[in-house]
């Protein structure tokens, strides 16, 4: 299947204009950045505190925005028009993913800038961030397929936001509740562990397990989204 970059770009531009004028959704970008500014004011922070914000930025922007973009197309009855157009599904979803990806990366970078977090090894962290962004976007797409309106989307995304942002505290209680060990394999925790290793001077070879686990999450979510999409859309 040929993917037309022109059409994907058109969808990206359209979604960006639509998104920037939709204050109900676009204001979520302010949340992690605003918190980042406040954290930055209070002096240097621990890695965990920084990554609480970074995970929040990922889930708020990548998952929530992507979910809303898809849900709104359904709610406003515009998806039918897109599906009838020569644009393929890959182009429609691709255009949206691209927009969310750019927004996520921008938000994360700005947040980091304000919190004064300077990773010891930029290359490793960048790869980890890109993989994480893909995971959260795939998750957002999946949730978007389930929700019929923006309202529903913002409700459905709440538990996810809680798990993946506050979940950063999980290591603190893992000694108390052994069952929580399963949670240690979540990509947000893996990202923190990776960051800690990087701060301790680790390179790619040291953090390979963490990267692989996050990558596995991406693959699982991607396949799951594909299956659900087939079920939901082709009827």
Partner 1 sequence: MTLQFINAEKRIHDFMIFPSFNLTVSFGKAVAIYSSVNVREQLMEVLLEKIRLSAGEVQIAGDSYNKSKQLLGFLFLNQGLYERLSIEEMIRFTKQLYTSKISIEDTMHAVQLHSKRKVKIKELSYSERRRMQLACLLMQNPSYYIFEEADQNMDLESKRIFLTILQGLKEQGKGVLILTGNMESAVTAADEVYRLDDNGLHSIQTRDAVEDQSAAEESSISAESVQPVRFEKIPSKVNDKIVLFDPPEIDYIESNEGQSFLHIKGESFSTNFTLNELEDRLLPFGFFRCHRSYIVNLQKVREVITWTRNSYSLVLDDMEKSTIPLSKTKMIELKEMLGL
5 binds partner 1 (CB under 8 A): no
For residue 20, the minimal CB distance to partner 1 (Å) is 9
Q: Which of 27, 42, 86, 182 binds partner 1 (CB under 8 A)?
A: 86
Q: Which of 44, 81, 123, 203 binds partner 1 (CB under 8 A)?
A: 81
Cβ neighbors of 223 (< 8 A, separation 6 or more) are none
17 binds partner 1 (CB under 8 A): yes
Contacting range for partner 1; rule: CB under 8 A; set: 63-71, 73-81, 149-157, 203-211 = 73-81
Contacting range for partner 1; rule: CB under 8 A; set: 15-23, 144-152, 177-185, 225-233 = 15-23
For residue 149, the minimal CB distance to partner 1 (Å) is 13
2 binds partner 1 (CB under 8 A): no
Nearer to partner 1, 10 or 211 (CB): 10
For residue 86, the minimal CB distance to partner 1 (Å) is 6
234 binds partner 1 (CB under 8 A): no
Cα–Cα distance between 47 and 49 in angstroms, integer?
Answer: 6
Nearer to partner 1, 1 or 6 (CB): 6
**Helix axis angle, 66-75 relative to 150-161, nearest 10°?**
160
Per-residue x/- marks for partner 1, 20-59, CB under 8 A?
-xx-------------------------------------
Cβ neighbors of 99 (< 8 A, separation 6 or more) are 12, 15, 16, 19, 69
**What DSSP assignment string belongs to the chain?**
----HHHHHHHHHHHHHHHHT-HHHHGGGHHHHHHHHHHHHT----HHHHHHHHHHHIIIIIIIIHHHHHHHHHHTT-HHHHHHSS--HHHHHHHHHHHHHHHHHHHHHHHHHHHT---S-HHHHHHHHHHHHHHHHHHHHHHHHH-SSHHHHHHHHHHHHIIIIIGGGHHHHTTT-GGGGGGGGSHHHHHHHHHHHHHTT--TTTTHHHHHHHHHHHHHHHHHHHHHHHHHH--
Q: Which of 38, 80, 102, 223 binds partner 1 (CB under 8 A)?
A: 80
Q: Which of 3, 5, 9, 230 binds partner 1 (CB under 8 A)?
A: 9
14 binds partner 1 (CB under 8 A): yes
- Residues lying near partner 1 in the complex (CB under 8 A): 4, 6-7, 9-11, 13-14, 17-18, 21-22, 73, 76-82, 84-87
């Amino acid at each position: 299947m040929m993917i037309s970059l022109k059409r994907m770009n058109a969808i990206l531009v359209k979604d960006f204009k639509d998104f920037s004028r939709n204050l109900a959704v676009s204001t979520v970008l302010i949340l992690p950045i605003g918190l980042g500014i406040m954290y930055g004011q209070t002096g240097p922070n621990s890695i965990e505190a920084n990554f609480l914000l970074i995970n929040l930025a990922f889930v708020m922007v990548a998952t929530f925005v992507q979910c809303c973009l898809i849900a709104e197309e359904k709610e406003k009855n515009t998806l039918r028009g897109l599906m009838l157009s020569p644009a393929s599904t890959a182009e429609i979803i691709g255009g949206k993913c691209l927009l969310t990806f750019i927004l996520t990366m921008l938000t994360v970078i700005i947040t980091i800038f304000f919190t004064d977090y300077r990773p010891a090894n930029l290359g490793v962290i960048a790869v980890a961030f890109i993989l994480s962004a893909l995971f959260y976007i795939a998750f957002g797409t999946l949730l978007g397929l389930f929700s019929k309106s923006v309202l529903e989307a913002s409700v459905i995304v709440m538990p996810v936001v809680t798990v993946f942002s506050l979940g950063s505290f999980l290591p603190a209680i893992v000694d108390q509740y052994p069952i929580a060990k399963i949670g240690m394999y979540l990509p947000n925790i893996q990202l923190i562990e990776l960051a800690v290793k990087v701060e301790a001077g680790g390179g790619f070879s040291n953090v390979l397990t963490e990267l692989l686990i996050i990558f596995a999450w991406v693959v699982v979510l991607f396949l799951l989204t594909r299956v659900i999409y087939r079920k939901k859309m082709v009827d």
